[in-house]
């Protein structure tokens, strides 16, 4: 934590931490405490009077079936995104780990979607599935299926899940491949000599040995699906049709900025903050730090 050899006390260290601490207080701690405070208030529609109501906002939230639905939906959504994206990248990483020639080229070709902004990813997919013009809509039409995610909630959800998973494949692939490449070759060779085929080796050696990576990625993917997919939802469906893709982080924005329900929105923020803190603690406490990523 601290160097054994260090500089003595002076005003300098305070000066050095000042910019960061100042920004942290002004833009993080103060707003977060405001959110905490506002979550205990009810404001009338014109902002003329406010009333301190303790936990009434939270109580209302947990009795509000729209909120509870959004909760379930978010969990459903994150599980789908995480499993789709992780499954796909695990398969690709296992293949890339096998081939010796070209593994780097494949990596280059697979990691760039990481750099695509969520809202841009949303725009790409919404274009391909446009109900009148989209290329996939056209293909589906050939099979007699009429795609319209603007009317069909299930289709809207599918589209948002695909776009979110697509963007996250890059990240998962990178970490899975690094995890697999750090497994000592001698282990795999020993198993091969004992007669285990590639598939057997994957299930009994590779998969258990990369489980710390898998767990780490699971947490990262859930955090991603919970908080970073706002741009995708905003571009693709705006939470619709009929709230069928309204996930929690979208609802906070919508209730606060569009619906102007400040107390309710602040209460939702507080719940989300508690969830991020929980996930971060899990990540720090349980993620194996011994894995060597290269």
Partner 1 sequence: MIENRPFITAISHIVLVIGVMIIAFPIWVTFVAATHDAVRMVQVPLPLWPGSHFFENLDQTLNKGIEGGVNQGVAMMMLNSLIMAMMIAVGKIAISLISAFAIVYFRFPFRMGFFWMIFITLMLPVEVRIIPTFEVVANLNLLNSYLGLSVPLIASATATFMFRQTFLTIPDELLEAARIDGAGPMRFFKDILLPMSRTNIAALFVILFIYGWNQYLWPLLVTTDRDMYTIVMAIKQMLEAAEQAPEWNVIMMTTLLAMLPPVAVVIFMQKLFVKGLTETEK
Stretch that binds partner 1, among 47-55, 74-82, 88-96, 153-161 (CB under 8 A): 88-96
HSE toward the beta carbon, residue 174, CA cutoff 13 A: 13
Q: How many CB atoms lie within 10 A of CB 254?
A: 19
Contact 153, 194 (CB under 8 A): no
- For 120, list phi and psi in degrees, rounded to 5: -70, -45
- Interface residue with partner 1 among 62, 71, 202, 227 (CB under 8 A) is 227
Of the candidate spans 48-56, 61-69, 72-80, 256-264, the one that interacts with partner 1 by CB under 8 A turns out to be: 256-264
- Regarding 258 and contact with partner 1 (CB under 8 A), the answer is no
CB of 288 to partner 1, least distance (A): 11
- 104 contacts 244 by C-beta, under 8 angstroms: no
Give the nearer residue to partner 1 in terms of CB position, either 157 or 256.
256
Q: Contact at 8 Å (CB) between 226 and 275? A: yes
Q: How far is CA 100 from the centre of its chain?
A: 32
d(CA 137, CA 229): 23
* Residue from 58, 61, 73, 118 binding partner 1 (CB under 8 A): 118
Binding of partner 1 by 286 (CB under 8 A): no
Query: With CB under 8 A as the contact rule, which of the stretches 49-57, 58-66, 76-84, 90-98 interacts with partner 1?
Result: 90-98
Identify which of residues 244 and 254 has a Cβ nearer to partner 1 in the complex. Answer: 254
Question: Interface with partner 1 includes 180 (CB under 8 A)?
Answer: no
Out of 16, 151, 242, 258, name the contact with partner 1 by CB under 8 A: 16
Q: Of the candidates 70, 90, 157, 220, which one interacts with partner 1 according to CB under 8 A?
A: 220
Minimal distance in Å, beta carbon 68 to partner 1?
A: 19
Token representation of residue 64: 């509000």
Q: Which member of 133, 151, 242, 258 binds partner 1 (CB under 8 A)? A: 133
Rounded to whole angstroms, the Cα distance separating 276 from 225 reads 12
Give residues 43-72 in contact with partner 1 (rule: CB under 8 A).
none
Q: Which of these, 156, 258, 176, lies nearest to 221 by C-alpha position?
A: 176
Unique residue bearing structure tokens 């258990």: 208
């Amino acid at each position: 934590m601290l160097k054994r050899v260090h500089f003595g006390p002076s005003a300098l260290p305070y000066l050095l931490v000042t910019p960061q601490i100042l920004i942290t207080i002004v833009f993080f701690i103060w707003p977060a405490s405001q959110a905490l405070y506002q979550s205990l208030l009810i404001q009338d529609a014109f902002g003329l009077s406010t009333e301190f109501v303790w936990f009434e906002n939270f109580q209302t939230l947990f009795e509000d079936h729209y909120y509870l639905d959004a909760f379930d939906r978010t969990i459903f959504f994150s599980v789908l995104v995480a499993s789709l994206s992780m499954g796909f990248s695990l398969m690709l990483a296992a293949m890339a780990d096998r081939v010796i020639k070209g593994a780097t080229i494949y990596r280059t070709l697979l990691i760039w979607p990481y750099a695509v902004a969520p809202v841009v990813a949303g725009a790409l997919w919404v274009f391909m599935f446009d109900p009148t013009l989209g290329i996939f809509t056209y293909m589906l039409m050939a099979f007699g299926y009429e795609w319209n995610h603007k009317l069909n909630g299930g289709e809207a959800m599918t589209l948002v899940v695909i776009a979110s998973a697509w963007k996250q494949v890059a990240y998962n692939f990178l970490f899975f491949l690094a995890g697999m490449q750090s497994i000592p070759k001698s282990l795999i060779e020993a198993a091969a000599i004992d007669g285990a085929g590639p598939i057997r080796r994957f299930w009994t050696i590779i998969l258990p040995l990369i489980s710390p990576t898998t767990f780490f990625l699971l947490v990262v993917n859930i955090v991603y699906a919970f908080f970073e997919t706002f741009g995708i939802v905003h571009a693709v469906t705006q939470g619709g049709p009929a709230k069928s893709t309204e996930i929690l982080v979208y609802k906070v924005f919508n209730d606060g900025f569009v619906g102007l329900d400040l107390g309710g929105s602040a209460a939702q923020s507080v719940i989300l903050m508690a969830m991020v803190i929980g996930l971060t603690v899990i990540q720090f406490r349980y993620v194996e730090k011994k894995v060597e990523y290269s």
